Amino acid sequence: MHSSTKRFPNGPFMIYQYYQEIKDYNFSEDQILVFGCHELGKHYSGYAQTALHHFGAKLGQGEGRQGQSYGIPTIAKNGEVLDLNLIQNYINNFKQYAKNHPHLEFYLTEIGCGFANFRVNQIGPLFKNSPTNIYFPRSFVPFLEDLTVFSVEDIEYVWKADDTHIELPLNTGTTVRLKLDHHQRLNMQPNVWEKFNTNQNIQYFTLKEQQFNQLDQAIENFRKEEALLFSELM
């Protein structure tokens, strides 16, 4: 799993730590999966079910540590979605638990963004002021960090792409990159751009929202033109 660098004073580095994806369930003993759940411990779907089958979660237990997992309720006992202020209370309990267990690493999933139908921009900010042994999905970055906003002149014409990334120039003569393959839509990705320094530290930026949408449309137009050209050559 990939985690970010720590934040340094007066620089656009991360305060929190992140992972790219959960590739397998072979966690070490000090790694804990954190999942959203039903208050009555009905772990029947999503990562709750994964926690039940692979990480020691217990049917009938909602909140708290369960084997190599930790449950944060997002669904009430009556099956309704909990209010965000109630979820915040459960999150605060979790943050305190993580703080009291600094030797453990907690890998948080996108709790509340499945069956509960919240968006990441609603859940992410609830985790501000978390201890540093919590690892967040990369989708949480824009809602936890104070990222440096940047803009690009003639953005429709200066972007570049390869099989895995979109690249933009910075006014410092360097470039920033965002992971994106041919099948992904830009506006469905976190607006978080990476700049690698010579010492391999990563700085993170966010593109001005209007330009992010503008770039998304430019990429889609290019893909349509490319597909049309290809079909004419067939």
Token reading at 71: 């449950």
Does residue 141 surpass a pLDDT of 60? yes
What is the share, in percent, of the chain residues with pLDDT greater than 90? Answer: 69
Token reading at 177: 């990159």
Is residue 4 domain-resident? no
Domain termination site, one of 128, 144, 160: 144
Does residue 10 surpass a pLDDT of 50? no
Token reading at 207: 């593109």
Could you tell me if 136 and 178 lie in one domain? Answer: no
Domain termination site, one of 93, 126, 144: 144
Does residue 222 surpass a pLDDT of 80? yes
Largest CA distance in the chain: 63
Contact of 205 with 13, CB cutoff 8 Å = no
CA distance 45 to 37: 9
Other beta carbons within 10 Å of 68: 19
Reading phi first (left if > 0) and then psi (alpha if -120 to 50, else beta), residue 50 is in alpha
CA distance 178 to 186: 9
Is residue 40 domain-resident? yes
Is residue 207 domain-resident? yes
Reading phi first (left if > 0) and then psi (alpha if -120 to 50, else beta), residue 122 is in alpha
Contact of 180 with 165, CB cutoff 8 Å = yes
pLDDT tens string 114-135: 999 999 999 999 999 999 999 9
User: In sequence order, what are the residues at sequence separation of 6 or more whose Cβ sits closer than 8 angstroms to the Cβ of residue 125?
Assistant: 143, 144
Could you tell me if 190 and 206 lie in one domain? Answer: yes
Domain termination site, one of 144, 176, 203: 144
CA distance 178 to 169: 12
Does residue 204 surpass a pLDDT of 90? no
**pLDDT in the model for residue 1:** 46
CATH number at residue 112: 3.40.220.10
Averaged pLDDT score across all residues of the chain: 90
**pLDDT in the model for residue 13:** 57
Token reading at 61: 């237990």
**pLDDT in the model for residue 199:** 65
pLDDT tens string 152-200: 999 999 999 998 999 999 977 799 999 998 889 999 888 889 887 766 6
**pLDDT in the model for residue 9:** 33
Could you tell me if 34 and 139 lie in one domain? Answer: yes
C-alpha to C-alpha distances, 122 to 117, 136, 160, 186, nearest whole angstrom: 10, 15, 32, 20
Token reading at 154: 């003639």
Average pLDDT over residues 50-63: 97
Could you tell me if 109 and 158 lie in one domain? Answer: no
Average pLDDT over residues 201-209: 86
Going by C-alpha positions, the residue among 173, 217, 22 that lies closest to residue 108 is 22
CA distance 198 to 90: 41
The count of structural domains within the chain is 2
Cα first-last separation, the chain: 42
Domain range for residue 95? 17-144
Could you tell me if 84 and 128 lie in one domain? Answer: yes
pLDDT tens string 59-104: 999 999 999 999 999 999 999 999 999 999 999 999 999 999 999 9
Could you tell me if 178 and 63 lie in one domain? Answer: no
* SS3 of residue 89 by DSSP: helix
- Indicate the DSSP class of residue 129: T
